[in-house]
């Protein structure tokens, strides 16, 4: 009888320990990732550097096969990029709505932080996905690629090359045709 009681206590202890462990792993999975890359703050910092340098970016606009070019006034750069600055991409607001994947991309030779939006409502109203490419040698961001919902028929893509240029491509969803392209070059 005494042996049965000891065995019963032992089984209860093992069972309760394994339940706590599985509950803990579930709780750990739902917590925000501390390594979430703050893309919004990074873009704002780079824009501030552009303004501090005081060199007006070259601006190219292509629509319907017609290219227009000009110099962009520094105070206009925020408004030209505003679609990609709101809502802010940061860990506080988005970490529970996206899935972060980290990997080394051998074809590009970059570490890639890829963020795919998991929240169906959020995906249909704002961000679809974004990728951050980091050069392993310099350990600096080499490029950022963002995809944003504009309307039911249109998405916009931003390719950001730090301290160099940015390109916005607006694409029609139904036939994947390019509606317009905007390029900003500040390293010339």
Please report the DSSP string for 107-167 in residue order.
TTTEEEEEEEE--HHHHHHSEEEEEEEEETTTTEEEEEEEEEEEETTEEEEEEEETTTEEE
Place of tokens 């409502």: 121
Specify the pLDDT at position 175: 85
Neighbour-count burial of 123, counting CB atoms closer than 10 A to its CB (0-12 exposed, 13-18 middle, 19+ buried): middle
Residue 92, pLDDT score: 72
What is the chain's pLDDT, residue by residue, as a tens digit (188 residues)?
444 433 334 334 344 444 444 343 333 333 434 468 899 999 999 999 999 999 899 999 999 999 999 999 999 999 999 999 988 888 776 777 888 899 999 988 999 999 999 888 877 788 899 999 999 999 999 999 999 999 888 999 999 999 999 999 999 988 889 999 999 999 98
Q: In the prediction, which pLDDT does 35 show?
A: 66
CA distance 39 to 91: 9
Domain locations in the chain as residue ranges: 57-188
Report the predicted TM-score, pTM, of the whole model to 2 decimal places.
0.78
- Residue 79 in 3-state DSSP? helix
Residue 183: beta bridge partners?
60, 167
pLDDT at 94: 75
- Residue 86's pLDDT is 87
Quote the pLDDT of residue 176.
84
* DSSP state for residue 27 in the 8-state scheme: H
Which residues, at least 6 apart from 148, have a Cβ–Cβ distance to it below 8 Å? 83, 84, 126, 127, 128, 155, 156, 157, 158
Q: What is the pLDDT of residue 120?
A: 80
């Amino acid at each position: 009888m005494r042996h049965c009681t000891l065995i019963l206590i032992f089984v209860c202890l093992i069972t309760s320990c394994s339940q706590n462990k599985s509950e803990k792993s579930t709780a750990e999975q739902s917590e925000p990732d501390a390594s979430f890359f703050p893309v919004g703050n990074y873009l704002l910092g780079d824009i501030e550097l552009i303004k501090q340098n005081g060199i007006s970016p070259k601006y190219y606009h292509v629509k319907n096969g017609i290219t227009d070019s000009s110099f962009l006034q520094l105070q206009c750069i925020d408004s030209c990029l505003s679609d990609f600055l709101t809502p802010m991409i940061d860990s506080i607001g988005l970490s529970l709505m996206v899935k972060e994947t980290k990997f080394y991309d051998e074809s590009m030779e970059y570490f890639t932080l890829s963020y795919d939006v998991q929240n169906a409502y959020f995906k249909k109203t704002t961000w679809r996905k974004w990728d951050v490419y980091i050069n392993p040698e310099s350990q600096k961001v080499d490029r950022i690629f963002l995809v944003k919902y504009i309307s039911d028929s249109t998405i916009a893509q931003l390719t950001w090359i730090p301290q160099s240029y940015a390109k916005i491509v607006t694409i029609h969803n139904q036939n994947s045709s390019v509606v317009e392209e905007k390029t900003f070059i500040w390293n010339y």
